[in-house]
Amino acid sequence: MSSDSQREAQEKETGRIEAFSDGVFAIAITLLILDVKVPLLEEAEKAGLWTVLLERAPNFLAFVVSFFFILVMWINHHRLFTVIRRSDNNLLLLNGLLLFGVTFVPFPAALVAEYLNQPDQIVALMVYNFWFFLIAIFFNAMWWYASSQKRLFSAKTDYALVKHISRQYMGGPFLYFVALILAFIHPYLSLLASFLLAVYFVIPNPSVQQLMDTQNEE
Amino acid sequence: MSSDSQREAQEKETGRIEAFSDGVFAIAITLLILDVKVPLLEEAEKAGLWTVLLERAPNFLAFVVSFFFILVMWINHHRLFTVIRRSDNNLLLLNGLLLFGVTFVPFPAALVAEYLNQPDQIVALMVYNFWFFLIAIFFNAMWWYASSQKRLFSAKTDYALVKHISRQYMGGPFLYFVALILAFIHPYLSLLASFLLAVYFVIPNPSVQQLMDTQNEE
Amino acid sequence: MSSDSQREAQEKETGRIEAFSDGVFAIAITLLILDVKVPLLEEAEKAGLWTVLLERAPNFLAFVVSFFFILVMWINHHRLFTVIRRSDNNLLLLNGLLLFGVTFVPFPAALVAEYLNQPDQIVALMVYNFWFFLIAIFFNAMWWYASSQKRLFSAKTDYALVKHISRQYMGGPFLYFVALILAFIHPYLSLLASFLLAVYFVIPNPSVQQLMDTQNEE
Amino acid sequence: MSSDSQREAQEKETGRIEAFSDGVFAIAITLLILDVKVPLLEEAEKAGLWTVLLERAPNFLAFVVSFFFILVMWINHHRLFTVIRRSDNNLLLLNGLLLFGVTFVPFPAALVAEYLNQPDQIVALMVYNFWFFLIAIFFNAMWWYASSQKRLFSAKTDYALVKHISRQYMGGPFLYFVALILAFIHPYLSLLASFLLAVYFVIPNPSVQQLMDTQNEE
């Protein structure tokens, strides 16, 4: 068996993981809208539709923050799989765990939409950011496994760079934990923190960029 | 690193953006049906199922117009990505913003379905067409970025044509704003306008066609 | 521009139509389950869960028939696109019309699930089979357009065979119209007819098979 | 017609089956979240959100077990299609039957979520594991057909290995039947059994691995 045909076969496998993951990300991100409910006619009749829509602000806020969280997760997933060139059983499972996390996001999102500005809003935001904290751990687990299994990368990978990236990603769970704690100060602060974290993780990381380039040079 | 292998790697990236976007478009367009509710048995018992179904006309109307809006957005997205051959971080984000717009469409669609022929119908249609106006802006932002970043296109692209296309697309936000204003005259007029705009934007633009051909000639 | 690179570019286009259509078919077929509702605890407490589930038979029946209708539509769509090798604007639109039909299926399916064994069951089944009749027309329109536009096929296509297939597909709308009429005799007969039609249209048509083979020989 | 171009054409076909199946798996797995309902404000006001969330444990449990069931089905589907290289009509149908099973999973999952810890919980768990039993049969039917139709595999396939794998998969329906019976002893035992079966079927089977390698060597 030539090494070339082997590589081809395994890259095809990565292809189907990516396709399935894309599907799950795309559906989870789109299902979020189902929790943005249209106001009942009776509510609008009393106060007018404008007012009722404005009162729904927490609903829209939860939608926006959750949408960008999943989008940024997808962008980073996409980036990692530019580097991960081969697949094995454990990667399938660790990726499955990450997808489990992503699939569940509509629940804490709906929780925040329902409970923001209500007595139990701190609980809702703790669950919300705890879930993001957990997803960040799943993400690190997958990256850690893929990067330590050198055979999942290409031969030319610069492992000094890989270590550098790992250190940066490892900040994720810690940062989401901080966002969780901020809920005790103010729920909106906690929500703002998770939004800013999405912004932070979407900024192109020069090390990742460099690594992706090395891989492509191969 | 050969220029060929580099191009290949980056075209693969465009492939995954397209796949993810296709997923989001396909799901958003299919979720619209969830807001077309089956009449309750009790309603039908009194007036008969035919009558109750006919009374639901606004529901079906909102479904049809929203379906074709998303379909036409997809067709145009599809066209642009025949021309956009490379991808970078900002494109990922601008495309994400466009998908954000598309994902949200089921909400204003459900709003129109619920509030058409009701006292607050003008508000519903303003929100509806305002959202389409916003999506048109996101679409222009992505196209403007991709076309100004010459490196995202192929080397042979005819930039006179690109400018011509940009001018045409730039009419989109303006036209949807007009549709929004028409809600004050009559809500149905506003809905009709958004339907006609979908028809307008699906007509094959000869400049785009020509540009797609130049790209493929490469 | 070489004829080879042109073909490649246009086949890629067909690829994205297929991907988007696959997405819509896959989502529409999966959303059907949302109308199979879990019985309320109160209902089950009185009569026992087994009894309540058995009373839901129409619900399950509507799910099964609609599932296989969409599956068979997908299989036939899949077959046609083995033959259709190129794409143009009208094909995008006609395919969009077909997807519009498929996307809407969960509504008549939910209608049958709700109204079977109720006074208005004939109306529900007429709407149901009328919608299948309409989809059959959209399907024929797409096939008719693709087959008359010789450029969408490959050069070696056997057009005697194409005509033969067209004649067979043209029976579809007529047969679904018959299923609609059968609702007046008995609703279950009408439902059975649409199920049998799904079986009929999934049986491999030897002419289509032969045509697919000619295309692949190229 | 060269044997090479024929193979290519038919492998493309397998590609679209995989794409459509991936879509259905991805959607079914993501729709599960829709049955995890956010507690109503009134419930939380009385007992506090934490308590209410803890009472929802069966809901979360049903979500987790069903998620991993579908994930493991997808992983095995993915493995089989590394071996299945060609497609025909019956495979399309048998795969369709399997997808039918997967699409329906959200219903028994919601049944367990609603009825666990309720008088009718045994019925709910019997339906749940009966459905998994049925899917295991569909899965075996597809594998049995693909492996007996030697032409769906590649020429170099080791049929001694294939028989070995078939024997292992054939245990599936039996094991899920045992999980069903366990519901009579204790519902949680039955749920635990289906979770353990997911774990069992995800463990890389050395025979399957070996078979996938033979195929790729070709």
Q: Quote the ipTM score.
A: 0.82
Q: Residue D117 is encoded by which pair of tokens?
A: 């810890």
Whether C52 contacts C43, CB under 8 Å = yes
Q: Cα–Cα distance between C26 and C105 in angstroms, integer?
A: 12
Q: Which tokens belong to B213?
A: 């051909």
Would the CB atoms of B114 and A41 count as touching at under 8 Å?
yes
Report the residue of B92, B102, B134 to disrupt the A interface, i.e. the one with the largest count of A CBs within 10 Å.
B92
How is residue C132 written in tokens?
A: 């299948």
Q: Which of D124, D133, D135 is nearest to D188 (CA)?
A: D124
User: What's the burial of A162, exposed, middle or buried (CB within 10 Å: 0-12/13-18/19+)?
Assistant: buried
Measured in angstroms, the CA of A68 and the nearest CA of chain B are apart by 8
A2 vs A183 pLDDT, higher one: A183
| Residues 6 or more apart in contact with residue C141 via CB below 8 angstroms | C94, C97
Chain A CB within 8 Å of residue D18 CB: yes
User: Using CB atoms, which residue from D6, D31, D123 is nearest to C50?
Assistant: D123
Instruction: Report chain D residues whose CB lies below 8 A from the CB of A119.
Output: 45
How far CA A159 is from CA of A162, A166, A217, in Å, comes to 5, 10, 15
Phi-psi region of D66 (alpha: psi -120 to 50; beta: other; left: phi over 0): alpha
Asked if residue C98 lies in contact with residue C77, where contact means CB atoms within 8 angstroms, the answer is: yes
Cβ–Cβ contacts within 10 Å for residue C154, how many?
A: 17
The amino acid present at A115, given as its one-letter code, is Y
Core vs surface per residue D153-188: b (16+ CB within 10 A) or e: bbeebeeebbebbeeebeebbebbbebbebbeeebb
Compute the count of residue pairs across chains B and C with CB atoms less than 8 Å apart.
Answer: 93
Residue D78: per-residue pLDDT: 83
Contact across the interface for C49 and D9, Cβ inside 8 Å: no
pLDDT (tens, 9 = 90+) of chain D, 218 residues, equals 344 444 444 445 677 788 889 889 999 999 999 888 888 888 888 888 888 888 888 889 889 999 999 998 998 888 888 778 787 778 888 999 999 999 999 999 999 988 888 888 899 999 999 999 999 999 999 988 888 877 677 666 777 777 777 777 888 888 899 988 998 998 889 889 988 888 888 776 666 666 666 655 54
Q: Which residue positions in chain B have pLDDT lower than 70?
A: 1-13, 151, 154-156, 204-218
The mean pLDDT value of chain C amounts to 82
How many Å apart are CA D67 and CA D109, to the nearest integer?
A: 9
CB < 8 Å to A70, chain B: none
Q: In the prediction, which pLDDT does C106 show? A: 93
Whether A92 and chain D come into contact, CB under 8 Å, resolves to yes
- Count CA within 13 A, CB hemisphere, residue D190: 27
- Please give the C-alpha separations between residue D151 and each of D18, D96, D146, in angstroms, as whole numbers: 18, 20, 8
Cβ–Cβ of A20/D74 closer than 8 Å? yes
Per the structure, the count of domains in chain B is 1
Q: Which residues of D touch C27 (CB under 8 A)?
A: 23, 27
Cβ neighbours of residue C192 under 8 Å, at least 6 residues apart? none
Task: Measure in Å the smallest separation between the Cα of B184 and chain C Cα atoms.
Answer: 30
Residue with tokens 């639109």: C93
Predicted pLDDT at D6: 47
Query: Is the CB of residue B93 less than 8 Å from the CB of residue B66?
Result: no
The residue range of the domain holding D183 is 3-217
Reference A200, options A79, A30, A76; nearest CA is A76
Q: Which amino acid is located at C79 in the chain? A: R
| Residue D107 to residue C45, Cβ atoms within 8 A | no
Query: What is the C-alpha separation between A25 and C198, in angstroms, rounded?
Result: 32
| Beta-carbon separation of A30 and B115 below 8 A | no
Please report where in the chains the tokens 């949408």 appear, as a residue.
A67
User: What residues of chain D lie within 8 A of the CB of C31, using their CB?
Assistant: 27, 31
Interface contact C103-B29, CB threshold 8 A: yes
Chain B partners within 8 Å of C99 (Cβ): 29, 71
* Alpha-helical runs (H) found in chain C: 3-31, 41-47, 49-55, 57-83, 89-104, 106-115, 121-148, 159-185, 187-202, 206-217
Nearest partner of A166 among A149, A144, A187, judged by Cα: A144
pLDDT of residue D108: 93
Distance (Å, whole) CA A109 – CA A68: 12
pLDDT tens digits, one per residue of C73-119: 998 888 888 778 787 778 888 999 999 999 999 999 999 988 888 88
Phi, psi of D171 (to 5 degrees): -70, -25
Closest by CA position to C136, among listed C109, C168, C92:
C168
C75 touching D, CB under 8 A?
yes
**What value does the mean pLDDT take over residues C188-214?**
78
DSSP character for C119? T
C146 close to C85: Cβ distance less than 8 angstroms: no
Contacts of A31 in chain B (CB under 8 A): 27, 31
CA distance B13 to B16: 5
> Would you state the structure tokens that stand for residue B83, as one six-digit string?
């021309």
Predicted pLDDT at D66 = 93
Which helix (H) or strand (E) is D179 found in, with range?
helix D159-185
Residue B199 burial (CB count, 10 A): 10
Say if the Cβ atoms of C33 and D104 lie within 8 Å: yes
CB atoms under 10 Å from CB of A185, counted, come to 10
CB C134 within 8 A of CB C187: no
List alpha helices for B84-205, DSSP H: 89-104, 106-115, 121-148, 159-169, 171-185, 187-202
Cα A47 to the chain's mean position, in Å?
A: 38
User: Which secondary-structure segment (H or E) carries A92?
Assistant: helix A89-104
- Mutation to test the C interface, candidates D16, D22, D134, most C Cβ within 10 Å: D16
